[in-house]
Structure 1
Amino acid sequence: MKSYKIILLASLFIASLASNKLFAQTDAKQLSAVIEGEVKTKLVLTPADVDKLPKTTITQKDRTEKEHTYTGAELGLVLKNAGVTLAEELKGENLTKYLLVEASDGYQVLFSLPEVDPAFSSRKIILANRKDGALLSADEGPFHIIIEGEKRKPRNARQVISIKVKFAN
C-alpha cells in the first residue's frame, strides 16, 4: 500500500513540475507583443527590447486622477523597425492602412497609420513599458499605449500583446 502512495505522490510531484513549466512558458509569451501584418519584418517585442530604443515620456493622470509618468518608445519608431510604410512612403493606397491594437483580455483599439506617424502628427503616441520608472505590473503590461493629449482614455490600451497593420477594404 505504501508503494502506491509513493508512486502517487511522485506522479503528483512530476505533474506539478510540468504544470509550473507550462505556466512559466505562458508567462514568458505574455511578456511580449507581436507586430505583424503589412510589415516587412514581423517583430516580437519584449520590455527589454523597448528599453534599448530611444525613450519618450508622457505624464498622464489615471482613472483616479493620480498623475503617473509613462516611459517607452514612440509607436512610429517601433513600427519603423518592423518596416511599416511611414513618412514619405505613406501616400496613395498606403494611407488606407490602420493599426489594430489588441490586449491580452481581447480589448481592441484602432488607429489610422498616419495618426501614429511623426511625419503626419506632432502628438506623441508611445508603447510604454514603464510607469513611474518601474516595469509595468502584470495587470497593466507588458505594454500600455499612451496617447499625449487624448481627452478621453479608452484608446490608452493596457496589456498590449498584438499590433496588426492592415489595409482597409
Structure 2
Amino acid sequence: MSHMRVLLPVLVAMLALLGGCGSAPAATSVALTSTSAPPATSAPPVPPAGDVVVSGDVREPRTWTRSDLAALPQTTIEVRYESGQGPQERTLTGVGLTEVLPPDALATTDAKNDLLSFGVLAVGEDAYRALVSYGEVSPDFGNRGLLVALTEDGKALERPRLAVPGDVKGGRYVSDLVELRVVRIAG
C-alpha cells in the first residue's frame, strides 16, 4: 500500500505530461483513499440530563438513565489532580465503569485477551472527548477503578462525570458525560 502512495503521484505527473504531447489532454481522475477516519467534529447525541448512551462496538447499545445508574452499587472515592485552575481535591460518588460497561458487554471475538483491543471514548455534552483503554478499566488487568460519578463533594451533578483516579492531570475527567462509545482499536 505504501508503494502505491509513492507511485501514484508519479503516475499522475506522467499522465499530465503525456496529455500535452500532441493531443487534447484526457480528463484524469485519481481517487486517494485513507485508512484513517476524518476528525470527529459533530456534536455528540444529547440524551436527557443525567442519561448516558453506551454505543459502538458493544453487543447491545443502550441508554443508562440517572435512575438506572443510581440503582447500581455506589462507590465513593477521593481524587486529587491538577487542572487549569490548579490542584483539585474532590470526593466523588457513583458507579464503577465496569458496572456500566462490563467485559461481556464488549463485542469481543475468541481471540486471546481480545478485550485489550478496545477503548472507551467518553464524550461530554460539549463534545469534549477522552479515551481510556479497556485494559485500564478491566478488573482482570488494570482495574483502575474508573467511576461514572453522580455526585461531587456531596452535591448531585446535573450530568454524570467520568473520573479517572490516579491521573496526575484531570484531562481525562469528562464532565457532563453523555456517551460512552466503545471502539475497537486493533484489527
* TM-score by shorter chain over 0.5: yes
Equivalent residue number for residue 155 of structure 2: 134
Query: Is 41-50 or 111-120 further displaced after alignment?
Result: 41-50
| Equivalent pairs, count | 138
Q: Which residue of 2 aligns with 1:48?
A: 67
User: 5+ unaligned residues in a row in structure 1: which ranges?
Assistant: 1-26
- TM-score of the superposition, structure 2-length normalised? 0.64
Percent sequence identity over aligned pairs: 26
1:27-72 deviation line (CA, Å, top 9, x unaligned): 9723311001111221211222111111111112474545321011
Structure 1 residue 84: deviation in Å?
A: 2.4
SS of 2:171's partner is coil
Q: Which of the residues 33, 37, 51 maps onto 1:32?
A: 51
Matches within 5 A, 1:1-169: 29-61=48-80, 63=85, 65=87, 67-80=89-102, 83-84=105-106, 91-137=112-158, 142-168=159-185, 169=187
Give me the TM-score of the superposition, normalised by structure 1.
0.70
For the 8 Å contact 1:90–1:114, the answer to whether it is kept is no
With over 3 angstroms needed to count, the CA separation of the structure-2 counterparts of 1:105 and 1:147, relative to structure 1, is: same
Q: Find the structure with the greater CA-based Rg.
A: 2
Q: Distance in 2 between matches of 1:100 and 1:132?
A: 25
Shift of 1:85: 5.8
Structure 2 unaligned segments of length 5 or more: list them: 1-45
Q: Which residue of 1 aligns with 2:30?
A: none
Structure 1 Cα separation of the partners of residues 141 and 80 of structure 2: 26
When the two chains are superposed, the root-mean-square deviation of aligned CA atoms in Å is 2.7
Q: How has the CA–CA distance of structure 1 residues 58 and 85 changed in structure 2, closer, same or farther, with 3 Å as cutoff? A: farther
Quickly say closer, same or farther: Cα 1:96–1:122, change in 2 above 3 A. Answer: closer
Q: Secondary structure at the match of 2:126?
A: coil
How far did 1:163 drift? 0.8
Contact kept? 1:58, 1:146, Cα under 8 Å: no
Pair 1:28–1:157, CA change in 2 (3 A): closer
